[in-house]
Amino acid sequence: MKIQLVFDDWRRARGKKESIYYTDEGVELSMGEFHSGTTFNATIDVEYEEDWLREQLEAGYEPVFYVILPEK
């Protein structure tokens, strides 16, 4: 399924996973391509759930993801 990923926010990865948007770190991290609203084209494999996911999106629900690097 072709989708667009819209970047939302930087958060701490450990402890309280809270937004760092209003911190010096958050401002610096948001100066490049990764700032609120940046859109990336992507493809996800949802073999059996594509119709269900499309229905939820059309109903006004938004899934939220975070990124995990694959093990080397």
* pLDDT at residue 67 tops 90: no
Q: Say if 47 falls within a structural domain.
A: yes
Q: Say if 11 falls within a structural domain.
A: yes
Q: Write down the pLDDT at residue 46.
A: 85
Average pLDDT over residues 3-14: 88
Read off the tokens for 11: 């958060």
Q: Which structural domain, as residue segments, surrounds residue 23?
A: 2-58
Residue at 36: amino acid letter: S
Q: Say if 32 falls within a structural domain.
A: yes
Q: Write down the pLDDT at residue 69.
A: 76
Total tally of structural domains belonging to the chain: 1
Average pLDDT over residues 10-35: 88
What is the distance between the alpha carbons of residues 65 and 7, in angstroms, rounded to a whole number?
Answer: 10
Q: Write down the pLDDT at residue 40.
A: 92
